[in-house]
């Protein structure tokens, strides 16, 4: 059935030679969001986002993606509301993208890929003492997903794009001390939400996903800037950092809820 083809696809996927999905995993990510199968939940609250731009620390190329990391030692950059029981602290954001504009996102909507997807990773510091512990717990993380589509130039993203040449190689880092990631989140409040996992190792089933319905627009040059990053360290044979997205995972016994009708 579909399940075993997923396992096979995971097993063969170059980027995730490590455990495909958690053996016996029942809430793996990413998934296809079938719009007509999502269930409107009138009890879902609006998501409240309050980030302090001065909590921004640096950008680094970790060999999977480029991460913008934040000082998560206090509650200065948090999200609350939406499907969440507690407030969650911003830890980092990163992207997934393709070699060409036909694919690149991790989630799909009605089986349509976007050229890229932004993930803002938050952890439940109300209940857990550290990010590392929260990663292992069912309600430990909350990730906001934002689709990127080809269109107008994105001013806010450009400040990030201008810094990318400095982190071209794996394990390079550059200081980045003021950035407000809310400029990357659409003002439209509509989102889907479901219980899932990290899409990179350790693939733990600890993520409440909040996927924004509206994409942001970026231009071709900005997508190309992502594609000139490298998976490889300086001195190694160059491998362009592209197609750093995990294959779709089975929905299993899950319902995707929508905050909108």
- Would you count residue 143 as binding ligand ID4 (CB under 6 A)? yes
Residue number with the smallest Cβ distance to ligand ID4? 119
**Total interface residues for Zn ion by CB under 5 A:** 1
- Strand bridging mode 257-258 / 216-218: unpaired
The answer to the question of residue 141 lying near ligand ID4 (CB under 6 A) is yes
108 binds ligand ID4 (CB under 6 A): no
Triad 246, 226, 169: Cα angle to 5°:
90
Q: How far is the CB of 137 from Zn ion (least distance, A)?
A: 18
Element holding 12 (H helix, E strand): helix 2-12
Q: Does 37 bind ligand ID4 (CB under 6 A)?
A: no
Is the CB of 141 or the CB of 185 nearer to ligand ID4? Answer: 141
Binding string, 117-156, against Zn ion, x = CB under 5 A?
--x-------------------------------------
DSSP codes, 172-186 = -EEE-----GGGGS-
Which residue in the shown chain puts its C-beta closest to Zn ion? 119
In the block, tokens 């993930």 appear at 119
Smallest gap from Cβ 152 to ligand ID4, in A, equals 26
169 binding Zn ion? (CB under 5 A): no
Distance of CA 178 to the CA centre of its chain: 21
* Interactions with Zn ion, residue window 64-123 (CB under 5 A): 119
Q: Is 107 in the site for ligand ID4 (CB under 6 A)?
A: no
Lay out the site mask for ligand ID4 across 196-215 (x = CB under 6 A, - = otherwise): --xxx-x----x--------
Give, in degrees to the nearest 5, the angle at Cα 43 between 40 and 47.
Answer: 90
CB atoms within 10 A of CB 105: 26
State in angstroms the smallest separation of the CB of 130 from ligand ID4.
Answer: 9
- Find the shortest distance in angstroms from Cβ 65 to Zn ion: 7
The SS3 assignment for 234 reads coil
- Report the partner that residue 141 touches, choosing among ligand ID4, Zn ion, none (CB closer than 5 to 8 A by kind): ligand ID4
Which residue has 């997205």 as its token pair?
245
CA pair distance 16, 246, nearest whole angstrom: 8
On whether the CB atoms of residues 38 and 117 are closer than 8 A, the answer is no
Q: Examine residue 27 and tell whether it contacts ligand ID4 (CB under 6 A).
A: no
* 44, 220 Cβ separation under 8 angstroms: no
Q: How many CA atoms lie within 13 A of 169 on its CB side?
A: 8
Based on CB atoms, which residue is closest to Zn ion, 107 or 169? 107
CA 116 to the chain's CA centroid: 10
Binding site for ligand ID4 (CB under 6 A): 94, 119, 121, 132, 135, 141, 143, 198-200, 202, 207
Binding site for Zn ion (CB under 5 A): 119
């Amino acid at each position: 059935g579909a399940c075993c083809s997923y396992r096979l696809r995971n097993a063969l996927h170059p980027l995730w030679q490590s455990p495909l999905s958690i053996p016996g995993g029942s809430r793996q990510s990413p998934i296809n969001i079938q719009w007509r199968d999502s269930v409107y939940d009138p009890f879902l609250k609006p998501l409240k986002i309050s980030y302090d731009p001065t909590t921004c620390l640096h950008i680094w190329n970790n060999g999977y993606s480029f991460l913008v990391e934040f000082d998560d030692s206090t509650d200065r950059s948090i999200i609350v509301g939406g499907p969440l029981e507690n407030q969650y602290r911003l830890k980092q954001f990163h992207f997934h993208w393709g070699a060409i504009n036909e694919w690149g996102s991790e989630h799909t909507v009605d089986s349509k890929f976007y050229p890229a997807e932004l993930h803002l990773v938050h952890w439940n510091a109300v209940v857990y003492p550290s990010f590392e512990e929260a990663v292992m717990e069912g309600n430990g993380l909350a990730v906001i997903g934002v689709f990127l589509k080809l269109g107008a130039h994105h001013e806010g993203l450009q400040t990030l794009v201008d810094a990318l040449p400095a982190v071209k190689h794996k394990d390079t880092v550059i200081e980045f001390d003021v950035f407000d990631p809310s400029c990357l989140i659409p003002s439209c409040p509509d989102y889907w939400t479901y219980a899932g996992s990290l899409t990179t190792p350790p693939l733990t089933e600890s993520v409440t996903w909040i996927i924004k319905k509206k994409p942001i627009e970026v231009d071709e040059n900005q997508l190309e800037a992502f594609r000139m990053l490298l998976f490889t360290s300086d001195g190694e044979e160059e491998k362009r950092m592209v197609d750093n997205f995990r294959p779709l995972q089975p929905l299993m016994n899950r319902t995707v809820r929508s905050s909108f009708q």
